[in-house]
Structure 1
């Protein structure tokens, strides 16, 4: 156990007992405990394997490369439609966690095997995402913007596409595109 992570458990509230069990299960599998992104992160040879999360209605183990796990029981949850690699095992009670010990350890062992094998998640390229009409028309009418947008890294392109696509109203999508034009022209990503 890493003392730097202990604070997370003191603020876990109603999930304290459940995540203490999950912590024990993960450590029993030989992973190193670290603090990353403000949550307990468990690593194999310095590579992230699983995170421990607490939410209002559940606690969860988030498998970094969960999309590569077999999941014969169909228990792994993709958090959002845009999540490509990570998958969660969610728990809604301490009893559910305790009863799932063997299952949890099997998932963790498979995640470690995936890490040992060097498998990588095949992420979608920006070309595989549909460009929102507002961005497509802006790019069509501005060669410098088009060049700058496609000059961004694939991750930055993807971030902009998802950001521009999120609003339901065309007016909001257009406003987001317009506001981002100077950043794109300067080679700046959405989250830079």
Structure 2
């Protein structure tokens, strides 16, 4: 009975994910044990191991080419005096990542990882959320505002996106110097926006780094 209860903590899809991994299976198993042992529930979301507390997504595991990563959705709120956590991208405001290249590295930081997990759970219990700067700083391009007038549903769909996805699109649109190019970028992005996808999200379902696209759709099968 005890073993049955223990096995129930592990999502079979995550087990398959780790079993099929050829880069960091031992590292993934080690981090998995720490996350579940820390009180998080395991799930398989966006084709990757995800760890939750209540209804909140707390952390994710990923097997990348150079490293195995443990990311915290609200990592920016974690206490990190040694600055071990890093932003996954230059415009990332919430998520923070730990990168590992061996089980030995994980074991050396085990107490810190456990502390991050405990604090991440306490953050969810408290209901604290990340205050995204883009809520006040997003400069919606005129071309998108004009498109809103033509298609009110587009504004509703854009506003329904997560703050990070909205910011990604605005950065993409405003990155074009000419109005014609900005308009072209917006028109090409409309199908994604209506699907609730971000500029870098996978839409083919083949990415191994869901929800982000890793180019798998262009791979030979």
Question: For this structure pair, what is the TM-score category when the shorter chain's length is used for normalisation?
Answer: 0.7 to 0.9
Q: Secondary structure at 1:5's aligned position in 2?
A: helix
Other-structure match for 1:95: 104
Q: What residue in structure 2 maps to residue 144 of structure 1?
A: 149
Structure 1 residue 153 and structure 2 residue 159: aligned? yes
Q: Distance in 2 between matches of 1:90 and 1:23?
A: 14
Unpaired segments ≥5 residues, structure 2:
1-9, 199-221
The aligned counterpart of 2:197 is 191
Shift of 1:173: 3.5
1:115 to 100, 121, 124: 124
2:51 maps to 1:46: no
The Cα shift of 1:160 comes to 3.3
The verdict on how the C-alpha distance between 1:35 and 1:157 changes in structure 2, with shifts beyond 3 A counting, is: closer
CA distance in 2, matches of 1:141, 1:29: 49
Is the 2:148–2:155 contact (alpha carbons within 8 Å) kept by the matching residues of 1?
Answer: no
- Cα deviation digits, residues 54-112 of structure 1 (max 9, x gap): 10000111101111112111111111133221111111222111211111101111111
Structure 2 SS opposite 1:13? coil
Alignment of structure 1 residues 9-48 onto 2, 5 Å: 9-48=18-57
Q: Return the offset for 1:175.
A: 2.3
Change beyond 3 A, Cα 1:176–1:69: same
Gaps of 5+ in 1: none
The TM-score normalised by the length of structure 2 is 0.69
Query: Would the aligned equivalents of 2:48 and 2:61 in 1 still touch at CA under 8 Å?
Result: yes
Residue 149 of structure 1: how far off its partner (Å): 6.6
In structure 1, C-alpha distance between the alignment counterparts of 2:148 and 2:65, rounded to whole Å: 47
**SS of match in other structure, 1:123:** coil
The SS at the match of 1:14 is coil
How many angstroms does 1:115 deviate by?
A: 0.8
> Does the CA-based 8 Å contact 1:160-1:190 persist in structure 2?
no
SS in 1 for 2:24: helix
Q: Residue 71 of structure 2 contacts residue 97 of structure 2 at CA under 8 Å; is this kept in 1?
A: yes
TM-score by length of 1: 0.79
1:129: Cα distance to partner?
2.4
